Each structure stands twice: as structure tokens, then as C-alpha cells.
Amino acid sequence: MEVLFRNVRDLVERAEKENKLISEIMIEQEIIVSERTREEIMEQMSRNLEVMEAAVERGLKGVQSVTGLTGNDAVLIQNYMKTGKALSGDFLLDAVSKAVATNEVNAAMGTICATPTAGSAGVVPGTLFAVKNKLNPTREEMIRFLFTAGAFGQVVANNAMISGAAGGCQAEVGSAAAMAAAAITEMAGGTPQQSAHAFSISLKNMLGLVCDPVAGLVEVPCVKRNAMGAANAMVAADMALAGVESRIPTDEVIDAMYKIGQTMPVALRETAQGGLAATPTGKWLEKRIFGAATASRG
């Protein structure tokens, strides 16, 4: 079976040689690998987009998890934006709020689309639906945004890891932020190489991010990390579009993330044994939610 790309270098070189968007290369690869038609593949991604849109809309109306650890922060951010006092600017905060909204829906056991995981599901749709209001993309362009993100995500999954248990939150929110940065760049008219630079800039600045969920739940600090991932993606995309380049090639950044994940202590890889999960308040919250017997295991 022919594979069109295995790493980012191959992906960018093919896109440039054939004068195609990265999203188009990813669509073509999906046709080959899945043996489905273009129409079937586009329709499936369109359904993913619908799930994302519904999650954002639900989260922006206000939703709370069963534990009470997370919920309604997306609403707070949107309300704050309306005051006109936002220091970060409404465009950036819109992405942040929509990333938070998605992950609050996830924490409340709602339906989301893992991009690349459930714990990091807010970054890609959060940035997409914020950028939508500025760039006014067509529906197909929004679907292509997801294919571009998916192309980079596929490289990470095949050459490193996207699981917090395997490599810390750098592998989840870090990968999601980088995927979003690359997709934003393409949608904004950037070149394939600029998308790669955006990906690199974003991921480089999340290397070493630990996975330390309080009480072992994908709530604290996961939801707020998606907020920061969305902001990271937006800034990285702007930097790349401005002409800023990553001095370390994308594939080497991915390899560095993989090696960091391998050396990361088990306590900081989704075990809830270290980091924020091991703080006095973190242990108290675990005890409150699950009881003394569970909390004492750590």
C-alpha cells in the first residue's frame, strides 16, 4: 500500500512539489488507506465537524460536570469579553472560551470529537470556530482545517505519542495545539512550510508538559490546559504567518517530544500520583469525590 507521507518533511515536500494544500494530501492519503471515495471521506469529516460545533454550542450555554470540579467557565469568559475590558483581545479569548466549552462538555460526559484525544478535544474546535468568525471560511474550508490538523496529528501518533499516559500532557494538549496552529496557518493562506513552522513553534513551547489529573479525572487541570493550548496555537500561527521560522525542524521537535515523554516519571503521566494531583488540595478533592479509601492509595 502506497503511503504519501510518513513525516512532516515528506508531507510538506509533497504539498509543495504538487502545489497542493496539506489538507489535500491528507485527503488523498485517506482515500488510499481507507479505500473509500473522496465523497465518503469528506462526509465523515463533515460529521466530525458537526459534533464539534454542537459541543461548542452546548458548552457556551453552560454545563457542569457531575463532580462539580469544572463547568460554566466558558460562559464566564464570554461574559467577560462583553465588558470590553479583555486584555488579551476578543479574538484570542473567543478561541479560549470555545476550547474550554468543548472540554467542559467532555467533563460532563457529553459528546465530543477526540482531537487527538478526549482530554485535548477543545483546542482544534476552539480555534476553528473562533477563526471562522474572522476568516469566514466555506464549509469545505472548515472541513479541510480538520484534515490539515489530522495530517500533522497522524505524524505525531505514528512517530511519537498522543497519549498522556505514554508521554504526558505535551503529547495531548501539546499535540492538539500544534495541530491547530498548522491548520490555522493553512486556512489563513499560509504555505505548507509555514504550517510546519507554526506546528513546531507551538509544540516546542509545550515540551515537558506533565499529565497530572486531579483525582484521575479529565477535569483539573485539563480543561484550562486546553484554554492555554488554544492561545498557544493562535500565537504560533500568527508568528509563522509573520515569517517567523522554527530553527529546529518539525520532525526533530516531534522526536524530542517523544524522548522527553519516555524519560518523564510515571508519577507525571496520567497516574494522578504527582504534580497537581499530589498537592494537599488535589488529594482533598480526590477524597471528597471518591472517599478516604481511594485517596489513600496514592
State yes or no: pLDDT of 298 exceeds 50. no
pLDDT band with cut points at 50, 70 and 90 for residue 1: low
Q: What grid cell was written down for 150?
A: 489530522
**Model pLDDT for residues 2-50, shown as the tens digit of each residue:** 799 999 999 999 999 999 999 999 999 999 999 999 999 999 999 999 9
What is 8-290's CATH number, 1.10.4100, 3.30.980, 2.130.10, 1.10.287?
1.10.4100
Per the listing, cell 512532516 goes with 8
> Domains of the chain: which residue ranges?
8-290
- Cβ distance 213 to 277 under 8 Å? yes
Question: In this predicted structure, what is the pLDDT of residue 294?
Answer: 52
In this model, does residue 91 exceed pLDDT 70? yes
Distance CA 102, CA 146 (A): 16
Residue pointed to by grid coordinates 488554544: 230
Instruction: Express each pLDDT in 201-243 by its tens digit.
Output: 999 999 999 999 999 999 999 999 999 999 999 999 999 999 9
pLDDT at 2: 79
Report the C-alpha gap between 123 and 143 in whole angstroms: 16
pLDDT in tens, 149-164: 999 999 999 999 999 9
Residue with cell 489538507: 23
